[in-house]
Amino acid sequence: MGEPPEGEFQPFYTPTSKDDYSLIFESRFESGNLRRAIQVYEFEYDLILKPDYNTRGYTQWYYFRIGNTRAGKTYRFNIINLMKPDSLYNHGMRPVVYSEIESKRSGKGWFRGGSDICYYQNSMKRKNAGYYYTLTFSMQFDHDNDTVYLAHCYPYTYTDLIRYLNHLEVDPKRKNRLRRRTLTQTIAGNNCEMIIITTF
């Protein structure tokens, strides 16, 4: 097996045959935060998130991708280490989904997906106090061997922000009304930008 492209990692799991329907999970990309995926049944997975940085284990946001999908199969995902005692998922909210095949074919971007959604307290105790919560939902994919991204809400990464600010600085109609300065840097070394918008 050859080396992955620049910036890509070797997968943690490689299907053993064309009849191996096991999904391939990945989150080693900007804002991705899946720590572990455990296959509990043929089409069901328990998912454990990495906590948000500089918190005491807070988890609510999720963002990861899935490969080796099969069209028409019903998959069940259980994110089992969430922290909030209630969630908008109990009031109609659904995960956001992005399909690489659908994007190439029709230009379709992120959309809300999933069914049989439930958010509830599970029986896993937290170290300090209380219990974890589970978000569980079903998902059917439209294409075989697609790469599909799942997230709590529409991702907007630091790279997205920098691209947008760079675009504003070169836009002939906007660049004369904008000043961009670095206020400070984050612990990760990213610039925390200060934007001044006025007529100068």
Residue 134's CB: how many other CB atoms inside 10 A? 19
> Tokens for 180?
């961009």
116 Rama class: left (phi>0) / alpha (psi -120 to 50) / beta: left
Residue 82's H or E segment, with its range, is strand 74-82
Residue by residue, DSSP assigns 134-187 as EEEEEEEBSSTT--EEEESS----HHHHHHHHHHHHH-TTTGGGEEEEEEEE-T
Each residue of 9-27: pLDDT tens digit? 888 888 888 889 899 999 9
- What was the pLDDT predicted at 3? 46
- What was the pLDDT predicted at 9? 83
Alpha-carbon distance 153 to 111, whole Å?
10
Per-residue exposure over 86-101, b if at least 16 CB sit within 10 Å of its own CB, e if not = ebebeeebebbbbbeb
- What was the pLDDT predicted at 4? 46
- What was the pLDDT predicted at 1? 37
For the chain, domains (ranges, CATH) are 24-151 (2.60.40.3120), 158-197 (no CATH)
- What was the pLDDT predicted at 171? 95
Alpha-carbon distance 71 to 144, whole Å?
5
Look at residue 68 and give its three-state secondary structure: coil
DSSP-derived secondary structure letter, 97? E
Run means of pLDDT, 10 residues per run, the chain, 200 residues: 59 86 94 96 96 80 96 97 94 97 96 97 89 97 97 95 95 92 90 91
Phi, psi of 38 (to 5 degrees): -120, 120
